[in-house]
Structure 1
Amino acid sequence: MIALTEEAIRSSFVNTSRRERTDAVLPPALELTPWESLDYLGWRDPKLPGRAYAVIPVGDGGLVGIMFRQAEASVGLRMMCAWCEDVWLNSEVVFYGAKRSGTAGRQGNSVGTYICRDFNCSENVRRDPPLPYKGYDLEAARNTRIAQLQQKVAVFATNV
């Protein structure tokens, strides 16, 4: 992922009002973010529990910023993240909902999915899986998981 500026992040949001865009608390120390190992930028709002954001690269250099709201209810089961599909999760998976952009969002339409609570999918897909058999190509498996994550987040962003 390319390094993002505050201006690029704020202008990428597609499902927020101007005020929500301005009031969004951005992640600290953007200049220290390991951009080369991220497939998207995701973070939780430290001031508003239950609110989170993701900025997802789509197409040729385009960005889609999404504001999420975490569901309050818990299903009581261990869910799998729909984006990284990691089975060795180090963090909780929660249901995040996002208002759709444009007219659909103004009419109350939304879309949601189960995602790693702290948006650590990029880290999860880069971790080596257990070897299922001798000669298994770990690098190819890792590259496939990274490509699948990039595709899934881009599809979700397009649906918003």
Structure 2
Amino acid sequence: MHALSASTLRSAFVNVSTRERSALTVPTDIDTSPWDRLDYVGWRDAKSPLLGFVVAEIDGTPVGLQLRQTEQRTRTRAQCSWCTDVTLPNDVVLFSARRTGKAGRAGNTVGTLLCAGFECSRNVRRLDPPAYLGHDAAAARDRRVASLRSHVDAFFRDLRDGV
């Protein structure tokens, strides 16, 4: 992912109102983010802990989405829909995101299970121990990174283009 400034992050959001966009809190450590190891940038709002924000590059352009965590917890350990890691060291929660355009104004949302702190980029880059003799851990990691990018892209496109 390319390095983004705070103003670029703020202007990238497509499923918020102008007022919500101007009140949006961006991460304070944005200047020191490891951009070369991020497939998207995600953060939580310290003032509103149920709000989450993600920005990804879709067709080379930064696109941002506001997410809202549901208050109800899952009964069993959930799997993140984006990184699909079955050995997650972190919590997975259900987020909903308002669709863009007319559908979003009508209240239509899409839900997905995601890592609570948006740790997917770090999770997919972890080298797992070899599963068998001759297992190429680096190639497996590269496949997980490509899969994460595909899942993020599909989610963003569904919210933007879906009905």
Ranges of 4+ aligned residues in structure 1 off by more than 2 Å: none
Q: Which residue of 1 aligns with 2:11?
A: 11
Q: Which residue of 1 aligns with 2:29?
A: 29
* Structure-1 separation of matches of 2:158 and 2:11: 18
Post-superposition offset of 1:6: 1.2
* Structure-2 separation of matches of 1:111 and 1:30: 27
After superposition, the CA RMSD in angstroms is 0.8
TM-score normalised over the length of structure 1: 0.97
* Structure-2 separation of matches of 1:66 and 1:155: 13
The answer to whether structure 1 residue 102 and structure 2 residue 119 are counterparts is: no
Q: Which residue of 1 aligns with 2:158?
A: 159
Post-superposition offset of 1:45: 0.5
Percent of aligned pairs with the same amino acid: 45
Post-superposition offset of 1:130: 2.7
* Structure-1 separation of matches of 2:121 and 2:74: 25
Q: Which residue of 1 aligns with 2:140?
A: 141
* Structure-2 separation of matches of 1:85 and 1:67: 21
* Structure-2 separation of matches of 1:135 and 1:31: 40
Post-superposition offset of 1:94: 0.1
* Structure-1 separation of matches of 2:11 and 2:31: 18
* Structure-2 separation of matches of 1:63 and 1:133: 39
Are the counterparts in 1 of residues 55 and 65 from structure 2 also a CA contact under 8 Å? yes
Q: Which residue of 2 aligns with 1:126?
A: 125
DSSP 3-state at the match of 1:86: coil
DSSP 3-state at the match of 1:56: strand
DSSP 3-state at the match of 1:156: helix
* Structure-1 separation of matches of 2:78 and 2:151: 17
Alignment length (residue pairs): 159
Q: How does 1:66-77 map to 2 (within 5 A)?
A: 66-77=65-76
Q: How does 1:105-116 map to 2 (within 5 A)?
A: 105-116=104-115
DSSP 3-state at the match of 2:117: coil
DSSP 3-state at the match of 1:54: strand
Post-superposition offset of 1:37: 0.5
Are the counterparts in 1 of residues 70 and 94 from structure 2 also a CA contact under 8 Å? yes
Letter in 2 for 1:86: D
Deviations 1:37-70 (A, max 9, x none): 10000000111020000001111x1121000000
Q: Which residue of 2 aligns with 1:39?
A: 39
**Structure 1 unmatched ranges of 5 or more:** none
* Structure-2 separation of matches of 1:115 and 1:157: 14
* Structure-1 separation of matches of 2:95 and 2:129: 29
* Structure-1 separation of matches of 2:117 and 2:61: 23
